[in-house]
Structure 1
Amino acid sequence: MKLPIVAYGDPVLRKVCVSIDENYPDLKKLISDMFETMHAASGVGLAAPQVGLPIRLFIVDTSPDEEGKDGFKRVFLNAKILEETGEPWAFTEGCLSIPEIREDVMRKPNVLVEYYDENWKRHEELLTGMPARVVQHEYDHIQGKLFTDTLGLLRKRLLKSKLDAISRGEIRAEYKMKFPQQRRKR
């Protein structure tokens, strides 16, 4: 089932998320729904806060084809970034919760991450390049941070009216969204 993606301005996107355990209700269905939602929105990552849940869960799928060959696809439960290394590099990032805004973000190219997969198997994995970048972006979500937080003060001021418009639902996304400031119709 496709879930609505929470738009910029919703308080859930600013919460430091809580850890969960294997007894979390309907976890397998939630993970499946998140993958369906992310793929339908043409995303490469999706965190639980983006579907309104303040829990430490995110998914990543940078697969270049529908069979998942030569790609990176993972479920991250209770992830912790242990180390980020290397010379930071710029790459234009976007976010499903912040449609139509894309900005250069500096991130380190290597990340050591500890997490549990969907079967509650513990992993410690060193990621590099694009998988590392996507994991850092999604990890920021479960820490209550957005990619726009990395921007300079001037750039943030220039984007303020666009970000406010997103909060009010004055944007057209190709996927279902939930807007925090959209007025209810009577």
Structure 2
Amino acid sequence: MKQINLLRQSLCGIFLLCTLVACSNDEEINEKYSFKDIRYSLEEGDGESCFETELPLEVTVNKSSQSKSVIHKPYENEWEETTFLSDDPEAFTWMGKEEIYVQAPFTILDKVYANNNMKVKYGAETIQIKSPNKSDSSTTIPPHSKLTIGSILTYKRLTVTYTITLTGEYTKTEKQIKGKYIKTVPAYHKATIKLEKLPE
């Protein structure tokens, strides 16, 4: 009888231990994290860079006997792009389906400067928005002439390191996710204008 009681006690102990371990694992699995803050810094490879792209030629022919004006809008079909990159496997899964917007950096001087009023969506996908630059120029084409406008657009790329701090909903413990923030914008352009007289 004593052996049976000891066996029962042992089985109860094992069952209780398994239950505690299972509950502990469930708590870890079900832990949810919320956004606390984001910080930007400069590390090796970060900074500002520029690259150029050549736009398609704009050709306008004026066959009339009157002069006409043409508006050149080099930024009309250009985009700004924002990308968050990270090697952390949890970088873009912790928020589930919730959309998280964070403050965005806008320039680098002695450090990275960010603006609380300028928000960007945090996530794995690249965000594209139409360039807000509405700069344009007007050129007058004489009668019986052809206008050819060539443009080289210079893009500015900002690369900085970001660190997001998250807080556990149940444990209140903090964890950090690190990665790169990259923003590319059309900055300025250089145009070449060629006017040709149409053959008689």
TM range (shorter): under 0.3
| Relative contact order higher in (CA < 8 Å, ≥ 6 apart) | 2
Provide TM-score, normalisation by structure 1: 0.20
Normalized per residue, the structure richer in helix is: 1
Larger Rg computed on CA atoms? 2
